[in-house]
């Protein structure tokens, strides 16, 4: 089973590193839960996140799949469920 958390965090980190406030990036790497909106990602950044998760885990995601998940934990759970439902 791939490490979903690691892949999701890595995708968010890469998309957010140019645009996100430093404290949001620190929260992201600290391992705790936090609101994804704190990263301040724009729609193209979200597309980049989707692409990285899709390619790493061989799943199909839509924009609403991401935007419907308010927290990092919710997003990880969602992607894990998607993997499990294949």
CB atoms within 10 A of CB 16: 21
Using CB under 8 A as the binding rule, whether residue 60 contacts another protein is answered as yes
Among 18, 30, 64, 85, binds another protein (CB under 8 A): 64
Stretch 38-57 residues interacting with another protein (CB under 8 A): 43-44, 47-48, 50-51, 54
| Beta carbon nearer to another protein, 28 or 45 | 45
Within 13 A of 35's CA, how many CA atoms are on the CB side? 4
Burial of 34 by CB count in 10 Å (0-12 exposed, 13-18 middle, 19+ buried)?
Answer: middle
Using CB under 8 A as the binding rule, whether residue 26 contacts another protein is answered as no
| Beta carbon nearer to another protein, 29 or 67 | 67
Only one residue has tokens 């430093």, namely 22
- Provide the binding-site residues for another protein, judged by CB under 8 A: 43-44, 47-48, 50-51, 54, 59-65, 67
């Amino acid at each position: 089973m791939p490490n979903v958390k690691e892949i999701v965090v890595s995708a968010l980190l890469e998309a957010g590193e140019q645009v996100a406030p430093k404290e949001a990036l620190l929260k992201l790497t600290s391992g705790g839960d936090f609101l994804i909106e704190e990263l301040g990602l724009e729609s193209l950044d979200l597309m980049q996140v989707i692409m990285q998760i899709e390619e790493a885990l061989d799943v199909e995601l839509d924009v609403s799949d991401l935007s419907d998940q308010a927290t990092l934990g919710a997003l990880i759970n969602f992607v894990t469920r998607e993997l499990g439902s294949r």
